[in-house]
Amino acid sequence: MSRAVEAARQTIRVSAFPPGVTSLGNPYFTLCHSALEACGILVTDDLEVSTAWLQAHGDQVDAVHLHWPERFWRERFSGAGRATRAVRAIESLVRLQQFLRAVRGRGIRSMWTVHNLQPHEGEYRWDRYGYRLVARHCDLVICHSESAARATERLYRPRGRTIVMPIGDPSPAYPPPRPRASVLAEFGLDSQRPVVSCLGRLREYKGLDVACAAVERLNGRVQLAIAGPVNVGFDVTPLRNAIARLSSGVVIARPLSDQEFADLTAASDAVLLPYRAITGSSALLAAVGLGRGVVASKLPYFEEILADEPDAGVVVAGWDAAAWADGIQRLLARPPDVRTSAALRLASRCSWDRCVEPLVAALGAAPEAGRGEVRAATAW
């Protein structure tokens, strides 16, 4: 353990927003919070953005931590017209500003993790205003890559300190995968042919149509598995139609159990990430943590993470089906042990106990230390 972590071993109490975030089923939070607790930082997920909550609980916390703050100003958008949304957003942003000012007034530190530079399913102008407000008032802005930190500085001009805390490997949260042949048989796939997969919530920005078109061009040389819960507003019918054109493929449009996720990832020869936009991705870390190489879009985050282990992945520019088919073939042409070893080496450098070190060090520092600077401390 580093000196920075040892120096921050006093108990620091953090409350996170949105309430119940650790119950979302994402290993990010359980593993991150467990690693922080080992360093004396205790995180609860009971934060409510209100001065009443602060009055009742302010003496019990040393820091507040915002994840996806847009959920606060969007919470009353459902079913509202444009004018009503504007009024409600303004009211919410005023309340958020009052809350953050009151937090600072009580000597409590405030943090924002930039999971997304903008929401995936469409951005309102209120999102930009809200992110700028949060950046202006938070003491610490946490990004998951140096490229995201630079973009955050450019777009939102944080007044506090910006640090880079990489996303950790989520694979320790999953059970050991079952044998490949039996797993593929259960999902109607052939264990004698390569399998590529897109796993996780089915959402428009993930480029699932690109994955289908690329595999179709390969004329049966590989099989495709797409699996995960359907996001609100995503039309799964075109995806099913695209899969039906393949010689072998499956769409599993429902949540996967942890066992199923581990099984399908490990049974894949490659994980496809044809995302059209991304700020950070646990999907990439889950793939390499389970020993699987990836074919990913040429986006700053993917390029940055894969740079030190090029055998763990292939990066494809654009979303042309032919280019993606070529990318799949290039990755699969590498010996399986080469790409697996590279993936596991990358995952080993992204263990959560290492990834939290920049945050632990920042919370152990004086609140005003490093204000206005980007501290791109990384775990690799």
Is 319 a domain residue?
yes
Measure the CA–CA gap between 316 and 318, rounded to whole angstroms.
Answer: 6
Is 380 a domain residue?
no
Identify residue 81 by its one-letter amino acid code.
G
CATH of the domain at 343: 3.40.50.2000
Is 42 a domain residue?
yes
Count of structural domains within the chain = 2
Residues 195, 305, single domain; the answer is yes
> Which residue(s) pair with 272 in the sheet?
295
**pLDDT (0 to 100) of residue 120:** 81
Pinpoint the alpha helices (H) of the chain: 3-7, 27-37, 51-57, 70-74, 82-105, 125-137, 146-156, 180-186, 208-217, 237-244, 258-267, 282-289, 300-306, 321-332, 336-348, 352-355, 357-364
Structure tokens at 157: 């001009």
Residues 175, 70, single domain; the answer is no
Residues 109, 120, single domain; the answer is yes
| Residue-wise pLDDT tens digits, 340-356 | 999 999 999 999 999 99
Residues 214, 164, single domain; the answer is no
Residue 313 CB-half CA count within 13 A:
29
Residues 164, 196, single domain; the answer is no
Q: Which of 339, 328, 322 is nearest to 194 (CA)?
A: 328
Residues 218, 207, single domain; the answer is yes
Q: Is the peptide bond before 18 cis (omega within 30 degrees of 0)?
A: yes
Contact 327, 346 (CB under 8 A): no
Residues 117, 185, single domain; the answer is no
Residues 251, 192, single domain; the answer is yes
Residues 153, 198, single domain; the answer is no
Give the pairing of strands 12-17 and 41-44: parallel
Is 28 a domain residue?
yes
Structural domain including 313 reads: 171-348
- What does pTM read for this prediction? 0.90
Residue 234 backbone dihedrals phi, psi, to 5 degrees: -85, 130
Residues 161, 203, single domain; the answer is no
| Residue-wise pLDDT tens digits, 122-176 | 777 889 999 999 999 999 999 999 999 999 999 999 999 999 999 999 999 999 9
Is 200 a domain residue?
yes
- 283 CB-near residues (< 8 Å, 6+ apart): 199, 200, 271, 273
Is 67 a domain residue?
yes
**pLDDT (0 to 100) of residue 217:** 97
**pLDDT (0 to 100) of residue 371:** 40
Structure tokens at 244: 């039906």
Q: Which of 184, 194, 69, 216 is nearest to 131 (CA)?
A: 69
Write the CA distances from 318 to 197, 198, 315, 327, integer angstroms.
19, 18, 10, 11
Q: Could you say which residues of the chain have pLDDT below 70?
A: 1-9, 77-80, 365-380
Residues 341, 357, single domain; the answer is no
Residues 118, 204, single domain; the answer is no
